[in-house]
């Protein structure tokens, strides 16, 4: 099994999932040149990460990859199917993937959506507002809780951790504007399997 990733990207959540499962895999960093190449386009038609190569075939999209892996191999990051906790986790994953992630991407790279620079500026303003609205909701989920769902870390916490780290690149930054989410992110960041992923990706821990 092979995971294609870029350090600090949403692929980190899938990377943590693989570590949790304890299965054999190869993590392959995708540099700028590779990402834009026609060869990599055969792996991911959108020239994005993550991409997962398995015996069953190729998968893209972080949430799809995580759910495939946990459905196939189990692990500790998913509540039992059919439980309220599983439904909550799925809701949070879908919200973060469909609402938070695009808002962050648009404010960071508005030229992917519109060519006109004036329109880019307006789009970035709106995306920044949407990003803050989304993180306000996730911060609310984290308030008064150790983990977003149930009494242990799940896939939802892993993706929230990635987005909280992204929030260090925006204003206002996560620790100031979304303190409950930031505390959650620090708990995730401190987990041994997460520290292993950070080391593999060459990233500093939040307390580093």
Query: pTM of the prediction?
Result: 0.95
Question: How is residue 188 written in tokens?
Answer: 């995730």
Provide the residue range defining the domain that includes 26. Answer: 2-73
Question: How is residue 203 written in tokens?
Answer: 């990233």
The structure tokens 């994005």 sit at 48
Residue 172 lies in a domain: yes
Using only C-alpha atoms, the chain has a radius of gyration, in whole angstroms, of 17
Alpha helices in 22-116 (DSSP H): 32-35, 38-41, 62-73, 84-95, 101-108
Instruction: Assess whether 140 and 114 both reside in one domain.
Output: yes
Domain end marker among 14, 44, 73: 73
Instruction: Assess whether 69 and 89 both reside in one domain.
Output: no
* Residue-level pLDDT, tens digit, the chain, 208 residues: 999 999 999 999 999 999 999 999 999 999 999 999 999 999 999 999 999 999 999 999 999 999 999 999 999 999 999 999 999 999 999 999 999 999 999 999 998 899 999 899 999 999 999 999 999 999 999 999 999 999 999 999 999 999 999 999 999 999 999 999 999 999 999 999 999 999 999 999 998 6
Q: Give the whole-angstrom CA distance, residue 52 versus residue 201.
A: 16
Domain count, the chain: 2
Domain end marker among 73, 102, 132: 73
Instruction: Assess whether 99 and 164 both reside in one domain.
Output: yes
Strands 2-5 and 26-29 turn out to be parallel
């Amino acid at each position: 099994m092979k995971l294609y990733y870029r350090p600090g990207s949403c692929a980190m959540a899938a990377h943590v999932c693989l570590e949790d499962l304890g299965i054999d895999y190869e993590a392959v960093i995708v540099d700028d040149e590779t990402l834009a190449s026609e060869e990599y386009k055969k792996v991911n038609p959108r020239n994005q990460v993550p991409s997962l190569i398995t015996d069953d075939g190729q998968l893209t999209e972080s949430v799809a990859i995580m759910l495939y892996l946990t459905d196939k191999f189990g692990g500790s990051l998913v509540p039992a199917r059919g439980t309220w906790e599983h439904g909550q986790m799925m809701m949070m994953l879908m919200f973060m993937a469909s609402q938070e992630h695009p808002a962050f991407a648009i404010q960071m790279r508005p030229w992917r959506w519109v060519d006109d620079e004036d329109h880019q500026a307006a789009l970035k303003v709106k995306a920044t507002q949407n990003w803050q609205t989304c993180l306000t909701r996730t911060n609310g989920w984290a308030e008064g809780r150790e983990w977003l769902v149930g009494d242990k870390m799940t896939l939802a916490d892993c993706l929230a951790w990635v987005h909280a780290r992204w929030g260090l690149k925006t204003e206002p930054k996560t620790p100031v504007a979304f303190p409950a989410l930031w505390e959650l992110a620090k708990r995730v960041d401190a987990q041994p399997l997460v520290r292993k992923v950070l080391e593999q990706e060459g990233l500093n821990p939040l307390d580093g």
